[in-house]
């Protein structure tokens, strides 16, 4: 199954390691350090032009920044096809 991650980006659900909140109290210094390292490696991609609220970590080390909330992405990932 695919998950819409904002703008024109879709990601296979089996490639996703997790959704991480970038809003306020849940965003830590460790997350910031991780994102800086990923950016230096050229592994950070921005989905859309709005302020990112979430980052998605993929199994290949890529990071997708998106304006979609972690709750919305989690709900999308839990939907089953019938």
pLDDT at 80: 55
Backbone angles phi, psi at 77, to 5 degrees: -75, -20
pLDDT at 82: 46
pLDDT at 78: 86
pLDDT at 81: 53
Instruction: For residue range 18-73, list pLDDT tens digits in order.
Output: 999 987 766 788 888 999 999 999 999 999 999 999 999 999 999 999 999 999 99
């Amino acid at each position: 199954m695919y998950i819409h991650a904002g703008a024109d980006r879709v990601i296979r659900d089996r490639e996703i390691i997790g959704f991480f909140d970038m809003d306020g109290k849940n965003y830590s210094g460790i997350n910031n350090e991780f994102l800086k390292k990923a950016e230096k490696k050229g592994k950070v991609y921005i989905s859309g032009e709005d302020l990112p609220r979430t980052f998605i970590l993929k199994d290949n080390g890529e990071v997708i920044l998106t304006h979609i909330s972690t709750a919305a992405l989690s709900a999308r990932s839990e939907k089953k096809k019938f």
